Amino acid sequence: MIRILIKDKIDPLVVGELKKREYYVQESTEKPELLLQEVKNNEILIVRSETKVNKEVIDSAMCTGNLKLIIRAGVGLDNIDVDYAQLKGILVKNTPEASSSAVAELALAHMFALARKIVPANLTMRERKWNKKQCQGIELSGKILGIIGMGRIGKSLAQKASALGMEIIYSDIIGPIKVDSSWKYVSIDEVFGQSDFISLHIPANRDGSFLVDEPELRKMKKDAFLINTARGKLVNEKALLEALNQGEIAGAGIDVYCQEPCTNTALIQHEKISVTPHIGGSTCEAQFRIGQLILNLIEEYHNNKSFNKE
């Protein structure tokens, strides 16, 4: 019987379905310190973004050689040492297509929140203040949205923003991509210099360097907004706060942070920032799709394993 370790919370329906299919399922989401021992006894490990599967974890798993497959229930693989896992013969899979729409919608939600000053309007209303004049905003229609990373999420955001009448420019490491002809490929410097809103949709740099630091923030328009629903380590939070305090940019929408849970109170309490606690893929629909893909990946692994034994 295939033993499956679930280290971060996933849809209970998925857990139930795995048990129904007669897999041995171990849920251990409350005690992360047990991971080094638990990976020795399980063939499949399922994680989300919280659990870090580093060299130490993989070496521990190799003590028994039981671990054969790691599944990341989500988009990125930043929390898994993929190269080392593959070097040790462990498959690494994720579910990149499941949460594209959810993350794109959250990026758009932050844009609306900033454009219409929804956060300060909401907070002051709860204080029984009628700050109508102070909450005059702007429209998204007619504004330039610069997207860095035109992958699944970038494309989904571009489609939604286009429907709102936004002009789309984008930059991608692989160059121009076959997308809507009205979306214009430009250099990354042009994205920073021309956009009214900039949305990030790429992995973090492997060398730990920031994509958005003081030089990039200085290139932005003073009335422009930065949106980050991708990876916290893409943005130098200290430089972002300085840019906001000096009026170098108008605001930011942030869902991901250099450290999570985020303890940077200056950042999360800043009046020019719309913040959420890393909920990009946290919709009922996205979690259902992730669950279905996890089931498919495990069935594929099981079938290939059975086939190879014959």
Q: Which residues are catalytic?
A: 231, 260, 278
175 by DSSP, 3-state: which? coil
User: Identity (one letter) of the amino acid at 176?
Assistant: P
How far apart CA 54 and CA 9 sit, in angstroms, is 19
290 by DSSP, 3-state: which? helix
Q: Are strands 3-6 and 44-47 parallel, antiparallel or unpaired?
A: parallel
Q: Which residue has the tokens 């959420």?
A: 276
Sheet holding 273-275, edge to edge: 184-185, 167-171, 144-148, 197-200, 225-228, 251-254, 273-275
- Strand-pairing partners, residue 53, are 80
CA angle 17, 10, 158 (to 5 degrees): 115
